[in-house]
Amino acid sequence: MIKKVLVANRGEIAMRIFRTCRVMNIPTVAIYTHVDRGALHVRYAEEAYCISEDETDTSYLKPDLILAIARKTGAAIHPGYGFLSENADFARRCEEEGVIFIGPSADVIAKMGIKTEARKIMKAAGVPVVPGTEEPVNNIAEVRKVAKEVGYPIMLKALAGGGGKGMRLVRDEEGLEEAFRLSCSEAGNSFGNDAIYIEKYIENPHHIEVQVLGDKYGNVIHLYERECSIQRRNQKVIEESPSPFVKEETRKKMLAVAVEACKKIGYYSAGTLEFMMDKDQNFYFLEMNTRLQVEHPVTEEVTGVDLVRDMILVAAGNPLPYKQEDVEFRGAAIECRIYAEDPENNFMPSPGVIKVREAPEGRNVRLDSAAYAGFEVSLHYDPMIAKLCTWGRNRESAISNMARALREYKILGIKTTIPFHQRVLHNETFLKGNYDTTFIDTKFDKEDLKRRQNNDPLVAVIAAAIKHFEQEKEASARMTTVPLVGESLWKYYGKLQMTANNY
């Protein structure tokens, strides 16, 4: 049985997992780096261990240390997403050292972590895959040859890729050599593996993915699909379920194919099969994420399932607590990823201290966040600071609820993607539900975002008030004299305070 859970992660996902542990009455262990010592996940857990060697050490990639803490505390390890979550060696060491790893087998993580391997396995299991190479391409001559065979446009992709990094669209032979060189070096830098393979670029694709859940006894179920086609830099920013684009007949096929494939590879725990779908509803396997996905709340909202709870139960050796026919699908849910990024400036990172934070509340709103006023968003980590998710009995109502929640959500001190989300919710293409991954580049008016920001009368009034306040403060600072001898400092500061309050 699992008596304690250590989350080898930080931020909102650490909080997400701890909350379920609390529901299950399982004590929790946090790990943290020096810069994260004030973070919420550290305060929330029953025990917390610093894993930094010194003040400058920001790494969460410490397998030895994390395993030592898990053994010492008697905890199972949940890796969250990112960091060690798809590191097969780490999962294997857990298996060998008697620490329960709350995820799939090391073997399956290893196979799915190499995209060309995953493609081969899925193909053999009867899943349609994006046309392309089954082996890495090693030099420019080979790349040229294969690109011709596959047919332009193509995608150069890192074998070990993730997080939207290490891939490049190439439309014709002219830019090929340069793109190949850049892709190799980016892949090497990001993943410590510079191998590249080629996929056909699917034009105007929809990113549709299937959530699966399996146990160690061969039972696998699906928890329906998520549409994740609103992306910037090949990374998701908005997700929803059900997909407004997929037809019922296609949905059935996709879900069945995903479950069958997972049965064949002996998959257990939560996982996601990602697909590209073209305008004619042809779908192709893209990759499998052998972990809890960032956007899993969308699925939880429409099915009522707690994926973290089920991952813990499965890791402890329990069979799945329900069957496919017990899963009820209700209404629609949508998630907006709140990044500390400037949507007006090409989504550049916007680190800094959060000065004000007012969180949305109320009916059908779910916020997964690790932000608070005073928290410093560091450049060292992923810029996603929260996920806002809303539910509705249909898509329209989920979207209206999201619009309301976004209006209530105030974060000052850093730029966030909140204004971007508000614009998307008014976009006609988005509202119609027929948007693809080119949406931000082709259907979204970025200039409109700037105009709206600059013309907002409320912002103008607030800016004027701040300016006025600052001028007055400056003036009163100039007038301030040293307290007279004999006047108590308390009285003196009291008076200053009263002057300040008058503004």
278 interacts with ligand ADP by CB under 6 A: no
- Cβ-closest residue to ligand ADP? 82
Using alpha carbons only, how large is the chain's radius of gyration in Å?
25
CB-CB contact of 44 with 13 (8 Å): no
Contacts (CB under 6 A) with ligand ADP, residues 329-388: 382, 384
Whether 347 contacts 384, CB under 8 Å:
no
Q: 207 or 222, CB closer to Mg ion?
A: 207
Note whether 82 binds ligand ADP by CB under 6 A. yes
Residue 286 sits in the site that holds ligand ADP (CB under 6 A): yes
Q: What is the largest CA-CA distance in the chain?
A: 91
CA 194, chain centre distance (Å): 24
In the bound state with Mg ion, the residue whose beta carbon lies nearer, of 274 and 278, is 274
By C-beta, is 12 or 310 nearer to ligand ADP? 12
- Distance between CA 274 and CA 276 in Å, rounded? 7
DSSP code for 402: H
Q: How far apart are CA 136 and CA 81, in angstroms?
A: 26
Our CB check for ligand ADP shows the closer of 380 and 468 to be: 380
Stretch that binds ligand ADP, among 15-23, 98-106, 198-206, 426-434 (CB under 6 A): 198-206
Residue, CB closest to Mg ion: 274
**Least Å distance between CB 132 and ligand ADP?**
7
Tell me the three state secondary structure of residue 377: strand
Compute the least distance from the CB of residue 290 to ligand ADP, in Å: 11
Quote the least distance from Cβ 275 to Mg ion, whole Å: 10
Which part of the chain contacts Mg ion (CB under 5 A), choosing from 125-133, 269-277, 391-399, 419-427?
Answer: 269-277
Residues 243-272 contacting ligand ADP, CB under 6 A: none
d(CA 263, CA 404): 42
Size of the site for ligand ADP (CB under 6 A): 34
| DSSP at 3 | -
How many residues form the binding site for Mg ion (CB under 5 A)?
1
Q: Kindly report the CA angle at 151 between 186 and 147, in degrees rounded to 5?
A: 40
Out of ligand ADP, Mg ion, none, which partner does residue 155 contact, by CB within 5 to 8 A per kind?
ligand ADP
Task: Identify which of residues 142 and 274 has a Cβ nearer to Mg ion in the complex.
Answer: 274
Q: Does 242 bind ligand ADP (CB under 6 A)?
A: no
- Phi and psi for 271 in degrees, rounded to 5? -160, 165
Residues 383-422 that bind ligand ADP (CB under 6 A): 384
Which one of 120-128, 268-276, 441-449, 474-482 is the stretch in contact with Mg ion (CB under 5 A)? 268-276
Asked if 297 interacts with ligand ADP (CB under 6 A), we say no
Q: Is 11 among the residues that bind ligand ADP (CB under 6 A)?
A: yes
DSSP conformational letter for 76: E
Closer residue to ligand ADP in complex, CB, 299/437: 437
Contact status, residue 210 vs residue 222, Cβ threshold 8 Å: yes
Catalytic site residue from 291, 337, 357, 395: 291
Cβ 162 to Mg ion shortest distance, Å = 7
Span from 20-28, 74-82, 266-274, 335-343 in contact with Mg ion (CB under 5 A): 266-274
Q: CB-side exposure of 193: number of CA atoms within 13 Å?
A: 15
> Rounded to the nearest whole angstrom, what is the least distance from the CB of residue 272 to Mg ion in the complex?
8
290 forms part of the interface with ligand ADP (CB under 6 A): no
At its nearest, how many Å lie between ligand ADP and the CB of residue 112? Answer: 11
* Residue 478 annotated as catalytic: no
String of contacts with ligand ADP for each residue 463-492, x by CB under 6 A = ------------------------------
Q: Are 129 and 284 in contact (CB under 8 A)?
A: yes
Read off the tokens for 22.
């609390």
Cα separation of 228 and 44, whole Å? 31
Q: Is 114 helix (H, G, I), strand (E, B) or coil?
A: coil
**Residue 107 neighbours by CB distance under 10 Å:** 14
Contacts with 285 (C-beta within 8 Å, 6 or more apart), sequence order: 118, 119, 122, 123, 127, 128, 129, 130, 273, 274, 275
Cβ contacts of residue 242 below 8 Å, gap of 6+? 224, 225, 227, 251, 302, 329, 332
Instruction: Decide: 459 and 412 in contact? Cβ < 8 Å.
Output: no
CB of 11 or CB of 103, closer to ligand ADP: 11
Grouping H, G, I as helix, E, B as strand and the rest as coil, residue 430 is helix
Per CB under 6 A, which of residues 103..132 are in contact with ligand ADP? Answer: 130
Scanning 13-21, 93-101, 271-279, 446-454 for contacts with Mg ion by CB under 5 A, the matching segment is 271-279
Output the six-digit token pair for 343: 């949507």
**Burial class of residue 458 (count of CB atoms within 10 Å of its CB; 0-12, 13-18, 19+):** exposed
- What is the C-alpha to C-alpha distance for residues 298 and 300, in angstroms, rounded to an integer? 5
Under a CB-based contact definition with an 8 Å cutoff, are residues 196 and 231 in contact?
no
Query: Which SS3 state, helix, strand or coil, does residue 324 take?
Result: helix
Q: Which is nearer to ligand ADP, 130 or 221 (CB)?
A: 130
Kindly report the number of other CB atoms within 10 A of residue 165's CB atom: 15
Which among ligand ADP, Mg ion, none contacts residue 390 (Cβ within 5 to 8 A by kind)? none
Listed ranges 41-49, 103-111, 293-301, 338-346: which one lies at the site for ligand ADP (CB under 6 A): 293-301
Closer Cβ to Mg ion, 121 or 315, answer by number: 121
What residues are labeled active site?
A: 291
- Residues engaged in binding Mg ion (CB under 5 A): 274
Where does this chain bind ligand ADP (CB under 6 A)?
A: 9-11, 13, 81-83, 130, 155, 161-164, 167, 199, 201-202, 205, 207, 231, 234-236, 274, 276, 286-287, 289, 293-295, 382, 384, 437
